[in-house]
Structure 1
Amino acid sequence: MGAPFIPRAVFPTLDSLPRSYFLGHHRSGLTKMKSLLSSIDLIIECRDYRVPLSSRNPLFESSLAGRERLVVYTKRDLGSQETRADAQRELLLRKWLAPSSVLFSDHRDRQDVKRILNHAKAHASALNTLTGSRLLIVGMPNVGKSSLLNALRQVGIGKGKAAHTGAQPGVTRKIGTTVKIVEGSEGSGEGIYLLDTPGVFVPYIPDAEAMLKLALCGSVKDTIIPPTTLADYLLYHMNRNSSNLYSAYHSPTNDITSLLEAVAQKTGRLQKGGIPDTEASALWLIQRWRNGHLGRFMLDEVTEEALRNAQDPKEFAPSFSQAKRADKDAKRARSRSMSVTAA
């Protein structure tokens, strides 16, 4: 009988990883949001349920201050197993964000969507205005803002998609027109309208593992971090939860190359001569997890200690000039690493 499988206790630190994905349309989008703030009654900030701490963008807290905020943790269906531990984590997040309101959502669950609509209706009713209510939906790239907007519109007024969605970030690049999600009534005046916005990334992320988490969840394009590195990070987390998650392809392992070669053979992702295409297999594996087929679990640790240690917004989001300098340093480090490897 072989020795029992022991998963890795930690994932190796990768200092050469890029730490920024703050693009031009992120900056212009944030500037436009600030200019619209005077006409906005409520901000809905979306965060990814699987990375509830890493998907927080302090830029929204600093730039869009002064308006009531509802924090919606999207994609709950991809991170929750409806256990007592999940409920305890959700309670901790509610306490952490108080006095802001917090909801947890799967945009395909009508009851979840109705809870968000009811919150918006109650807020509009309290305003008691004849001109209706204007809401702004914000969040990091690919956290599900547009999907949530479409769901609110479908459940709220029975109409189809108003915003384009996609598997990669950057589908929404400009602030669009307002979309009605609740018909006018005595309580909400002309109705409730929601404005979709482009995802805005943090200028710089000092924690390399947080960058891996966001990339694995799809907040940056899959070309930014090597797919095999992301697949290895996914394997690390799958093993922490259950090595049975990939049992259809391989026995328990910490070797990502071995797993990807097995996936390639199993799924037919082979190059000329039958050589396993490990990069294509890595992308396929990552997408399977993103769609909930390789386990539903959080990547962030949500504990009282983790929330106490959550970084101050000023420390988490340095100035744009600091971010540029840090990104240049990271690029130089990667270039040196590649030169050493080539030699």
Structure 2
Amino acid sequence: MSFIPRHVFPPLPSLPRSYFLGHHKSGLQKMKSLLSSIDLVIECRDYRVPLTSRNPLFESALEGKERIIVYTKRDLGGGNHDGRNEEIIRGWYQSTGAGGMNIGTKVMFVRNGKADDKAIHAGKRSVGKVLDVLKEHASQRWKLVGHRVLIVGMPNVGKSTLLNALRTQGIGKGKAAATGAQPGITRKVSSGVKIVPSEDDEPGGKGVGGGVYLLDTPGVFIPHVPDPHAMMKLALCGSVKDTIIPPVMLADYLLYHFNLHSPALYSEYCSPTNDVVPLLTAIAEKTGRLGKGGKTDTEATSLWLIQRWRQGLMGRFGLDEVVEGALEERKRGEEDVQPSFNQARRVERERRRSRNRERGEK
């Protein structure tokens, strides 16, 4: 009998629906207060979840400010030669002005570029394109005090990584922002990191005005996530700490997506299955992730599996369906479910009460 994958993931009634923390709220308020001194905003989104990693809070908080959307981790979301999704995503932001001119938001794609020399070169080239756009933008708006760019996005979408890469290519200096595998490394808005030299620093054409400064910001989550699948996708991509959602549940959701693409992605460990337990057992036996008495350490094995996928070592694919009109459909859905800080607090309180009740019954 041929294998039939699940086409629907089981309901998730007890799933946490928020990861909106104190430093997210204060960071957003700080961003608003800085807008008058900001020349350009870079909004980072994760290419693997181009719709789900979009935060509606930025639409209102940064309204009226010119913006570039940079999709990070492009190489983790599909083959480098498959440009169809890029075309569709660019189309989401295109609009036509007088005379048929395209006046939409500029969209760019950046690769992680860590796999090999070819990938590293591709990654540097994609970052270089972003740097060129920033230089051009600054040169057209010459300012003696320097051009200030604010970089924003959901937690762990790669803002600090992009800042460091731009700084390395722009002025040849190393890391200025801490990065890590878990969200929440950046807690405050930075004072500004120079990524392009000023004309005084680099005479002869390399410098631009008073230079270009990039301000890093903490990732800002959504106060309430109405769609449980969106929460699972964000957790899989690392926008939520791995302690928030049970790792086995997350591994099961990853298995669901593996099977929608190809069971061959885990064929070295297990034959096709819709049950995550046999897969985790097979992986634990092969990799030595066993607990006392030789039992499978399901939590550690789940985290290992998830991390392998995040690194692009067990398939490179996106979790959102990329089709024409998808962004507009998402926006229409948001009109009925506006993010609410109070709603997020209520949901979180109820989740804690439920968890405490369950502990009391044990």
For the criterion TM > 0.5, the same-fold answer is yes
Unpaired stretches in structure 2, ≥5 consecutive residues = 95-103, 114-122, 200-204
Q: CA deviation at 1:107?
A: 4.2
- Aligned mate of 1:232, from 252, 259, 271: 252
Q: CA deviation at 1:335?
A: 6.1
- Aligned mate of 1:4, from 2, 14, 20: 2
1:263-274 alignment runs, 5 A limit: 263-274=283-294
- Aligned mate of 1:319, from 340, 348, 356: 340
Which residue of the partner structure matches residue 157 of structure 1?
171
Query: What CA distance in whole angstroms lies between the structure 1 residues aligned with 2:163 and 2:18?
Result: 27
Give yes or no for contact 1:215–1:222 (8 Å, CA) kept in 2: yes
Q: CA deviation at 1:97?
A: 2.0
Partner deviation per Cα, 1:135-167 (whole Å, 9 max, x = no partner) = 000000000000000000011111100000000
When the two chains are superposed, the root-mean-square deviation of aligned CA atoms in Å is 1.8
- Aligned mate of 1:92, from 76, 88, 92: 88
Query: What CA distance in whole angstroms lies between the structure 2 residues aligned with 1:330 and 1:206?
Result: 14
Unpaired stretches in structure 1, ≥5 consecutive residues = none
Query: What CA distance in whole angstroms lies between the structure 2 residues aligned with 1:153 and 1:29?
Result: 22
Give yes or no for contact 2:92–2:325 (8 Å, CA) kept in 1: no
Query: What CA distance in whole angstroms lies between the structure 2 residues aligned with 1:208 and 1:321?
Result: 19
1:102 matches 2:107? yes
Change (3 A) 1:331 1:317: farther
Which residue of the partner structure matches residue 145 of structure 1?
159
Query: What CA distance in whole angstroms lies between the structure 2 residues aligned with 1:323 and 1:271?
Result: 37
Query: What CA distance in whole angstroms lies between the structure 1 residues aligned with 2:67 and 2:344?
Result: 27
Query: What CA distance in whole angstroms lies between the structure 2 residues aligned with 1:287 and 1:7?
Result: 23
Partner deviation per Cα, 1:39-80 (whole Å, 9 max, x = no partner) = 110000000000000000011110111210000000001002
**Secondary structure of the equivalent of 1:29?**
helix
Q: CA deviation at 1:123?
A: 0.9
**What is the percentage of aligned positions where both structures have the same residue?**
62
Which residue of the partner structure matches residue 114 of structure 1?
128
Which residue of the partner structure matches residue 215 of structure 1?
235
Which segment drifts farther, 123-132 or 210-219? 123-132
Query: What CA distance in whole angstroms lies between the structure 2 residues aligned with 1:272 and 1:166?
Result: 31
Give yes or no for contact 1:142–1:169 (8 Å, CA) kept in 2: yes
Match of 1:181, as an amino acid? I
Change (3 A) 1:248 1:38: same
Query: What CA distance in whole angstroms lies between the structure 2 residues aligned with 1:202 and 1:69?
Result: 20
Give yes or no for contact 2:91–2:324 (8 Å, CA) kept in 1: no
Match of 2:161, as an amino acid? S
Query: What CA distance in whole angstroms lies between the structure 1 residues aligned with 2:184 and 2:268?
Result: 33
Which residue of the partner structure matches residue 19 of structure 2?
21
Aligned pair count reads: 337
Which residue of the partner structure matches residue 50 of structure 1?
48
Change (3 A) 1:308 1:64: closer
Q: CA deviation at 1:323?
A: 2.1
Change (3 A) 1:334 1:209: farther
Query: What CA distance in whole angstroms lies between the structure 2 residues aligned with 1:331 and 1:315?
Result: 26
Partner deviation per Cα, 1:160-195 (whole Å, 9 max, x = no partner) = 000000000001111122111111136731110101
Q: CA deviation at 1:247?
A: 1.1
Query: What CA distance in whole angstroms lies between the structure 2 residues aligned with 1:83 and 1:332?
Result: 49
Q: CA deviation at 1:283?
A: 0.3
Which residue of the partner structure matches residue 301 of structure 1?
321
